């Protein structure tokens, strides 16, 4: 039996303008809207594709950060077998070292022979979670994966990586293993609202708690929006005004006649 575990997390939704916390060292999360990290959604899709192919058991686990229940119910509606929410004193925005240690704890009590997670998340662009998990669990790791095949016996995986310059690489690794997913073999599926609502009524999210031991020893000194540098000219006004200004500039520079 193939047991797939998909650790996912929520990240700020960029449809809203981001605010910076008065401390200047974090995002202002009070009014932030959260959305599932896109690559984690791809990891989930890849897990569901493998489930359809190999009758695998899929569990989704997430630290209780943001509106994670929404994402977990959506995963349940998509057909995962188990959804686990982990609570603990890791704060509202744990870094990947903290997250990996918490996940390691929970994974200890969870049967797993394939761990799929998004290769990175937009809130830190760190790309360390899969690597850290694999070293804590002493498992092989491949990142930036865009296709996964499992052999009949479930003992090894063949994964696809797209390298720069139009080259593809196929890698083989024994299971259990950790994979950092860049893209699922098909776009994440749509799950109808009625199924999500149905899941909210009938399915349950399991709760676990885990201790957060230490962190990555990295301290955020400052978070800020880009400063307007010298020589840059900001165009202001309605989109039509701006379009007209751009046309004017291009004409001035002799690009348009």
Q: List interacting residues with another protein (CB under 8 A).
A: 13, 15-16, 35, 187, 189-198, 238-240, 243-244, 247, 251, 256
Going from the C-alpha of 221 to that of each of 24, 25, 35, 91, 170, the distances in angstroms are 8, 6, 26, 18, 40
CA 251 to chain centre: 44
DSSP 124: T
CB nearer to another protein: give 29 or 173: 29
Retrieve residue 84's tokens: 């686990």
CB nearer to another protein: give 13 or 185: 13
**Which of 107, 162, 123 lies closest to 38, judged by CA?**
123
Q: Hey, how many other C-beta atoms are within 10 angstroms of the C-beta on 29?
A: 15
Q: What is the smallest separation between the CB atom of 182 and another protein, expressed in angstroms?
A: 17
Going from the C-alpha of 209 to that of each of 73, 176, 193, 202, the distances in angstroms are 19, 24, 29, 23
Q: What is the smallest separation between the CB atom of 186 and another protein, expressed in angstroms?
A: 9
CB nearer to another protein: give 202 or 227: 202
Contact, 1 vs 51, CB < 8 A?
A: no
Q: Hey, how many other C-beta atoms are within 10 angstroms of the C-beta on 55?
A: 9
Q: What is the smallest separation between the CB atom of 187 and another protein, expressed in angstroms?
A: 5
Q: What is the smallest separation between the CB atom of 92 and another protein, expressed in angstroms?
A: 21
Q: What is the smallest separation between the CB atom of 170 and another protein, expressed in angstroms?
A: 26
CB nearer to another protein: give 218 or 247: 247
CB nearer to another protein: give 171 or 246: 246
């Amino acid at each position: 039996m193939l047991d797939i575990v998909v650790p996912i997390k929520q990240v700020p939704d960029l449809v809203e303008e981001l605010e910076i916390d008065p401390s200047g060292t974090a995002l202002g999360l009070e009014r932030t809207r959260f959305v599932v990290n896109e690559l984690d959604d791809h990891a989930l899709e890849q897990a569901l594709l493998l489930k359809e192919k190999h009758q695998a058991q899929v569990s989704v686990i997430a630290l209780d950060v943001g509106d994670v229940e929404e994402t977990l119910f959506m995963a349940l509606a998509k057909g995962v077998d188990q959804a686990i929410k982990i609570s603990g004193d890791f704060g509202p925005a744990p870094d990947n070292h903290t997250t990996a240690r918490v996940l390691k704890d929970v994974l200890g009590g969870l049967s797993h022979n394939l761990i799929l997670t998004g290769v990175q998340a937009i809130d830190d662009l760190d790309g360390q979670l899969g690597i850290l998990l694999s070293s804590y669990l002493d498992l092989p790791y491949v990142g930036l994966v865009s296709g996964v095949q499992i052999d009949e016996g479930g003992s090894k995986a063949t994964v696809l990586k797209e390298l720069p310059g139009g080259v593809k690489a196929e890698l083989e690794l024994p299971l259990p293993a950790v994979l950092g997913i860049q893209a699922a073999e098909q776009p994440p599926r749509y799950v109808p609202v009625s199924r999500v609502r149905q899941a909210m009524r009938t399915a349950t999210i399991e709760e676990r708690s885990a201790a957060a031991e230490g962190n990555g020893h990295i301290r955020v000194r400052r978070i800020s929006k880009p400063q307007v540098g010298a020589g840059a000219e900001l165009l202001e006004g309605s989109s039509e005004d701006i379009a007209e200004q751009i046309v004017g500039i291009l004409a001035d520079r002799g690009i348009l006649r």
